[in-house]
Amino acid sequence: MSYIDLPGVHLWYVDSGGSGVPVVFMHAASGTCESWEPQLPAFTAAGYRCISYDRRGWGRSRPDPTGEQPGYVSDDLHRLAVHLGLDRFHVAATAAGGIGALDYALAHPERVRSLVVADSIGGVQDPEYLEVQRRLRPPAIQALPWELRELSAGYRGTNPEGTQRWIAIEHGSRLEGAQGPAQQPRDPMTLVRLETLRVPTLVLVGEADLVSPPALMRMLAAHIPDCQFATVPEAGHAAHWEQPEIWNRLALEFIGQH
């Protein structure tokens, strides 16, 4: 666990080390690198070198006002990869992290062995996609507290300890006063752009996801050429947290092929 100084950010990251193929994990807007607690032991035990980091403006990472703000997620990831000497690696991302992961894989396909995108709207800006998104996710859903919006009712009801841990991570995820403009993809995300992606991709979605429901995720997956699609039963927007055994199995089986 340590900081590195990159242009525009003092970036906090966690690296398991070792000689295994690297997997970089990218968290949601409701989380930090701690959100991957259910994944890191399983992926490390499978022989992978696991790297997670707090995206700029989240958790322990601190924007550096002497650099460009807010910068781009894909640039921060690329500079982290260069700093750590990563050649080719897998990327596993959820929710808002998936937007930056897609942008990075499109810009640097030579670096990405495979991509897992879970429970993410993908940042697609096509009007027809946004209209479906608007109907699936009306303002009343957006206005819900984070835990009601992102955790399924079944999980909240049956796992109070896990729910409280998730809430604690969410509450500590954003820097006080860090409400400036969010990082955007370096290039606008469109369905046509997704069709140029040349990285094997697994799209995962919780069957009870209110934020990026399976119907929307299928639209996203349909425009990615080399793409597999799978659902996680009884899970909401934080499927990796609610059903880690299923999520980990699906992700590990996929990246093991690449």
Residues 202-238 pLDDT 10s: 999 999 999 999 999 999 999 999 999 999 999 999 9
Calpha distance 171→173 (Å, rounded): 6
118 has which bridge partners? 94, 204
Low-confidence ranges of the chain (pLDDT < 70): 176-181
Q: Which residue has the tokens 């050429």?
A: 225
Calpha distance 55→119 (Å, rounded): 18
Torsion of Cα atoms, 192 then 107 then 19 then 3, to 10°:
-120
The β-bridge relationship of strands 62-63 and 9-15 is antiparallel
Q: What is the pTM of this model?
A: 0.96
Q: What is the pLDDT of residue 218?
A: 97
Q: What is the pLDDT of residue 180?
A: 57
Q: What is the pLDDT of residue 173?
A: 92
Label residue 17 exposed, middle or buried (CB < 10 Å: 0-12, 13-18, 19+). exposed
| Entry field: residues in the chain | 258
Note if the bond before 213 is cis, omega within 30 degrees: no
Per CATH, the number for 2-255 is 3.40.50.1820
Burial track 21-36 (b if 16+ CB lie within 10 A, e otherwise):
bbbbbbbbbbbbbbbb
CB 104 within 8 A of CB 74: yes
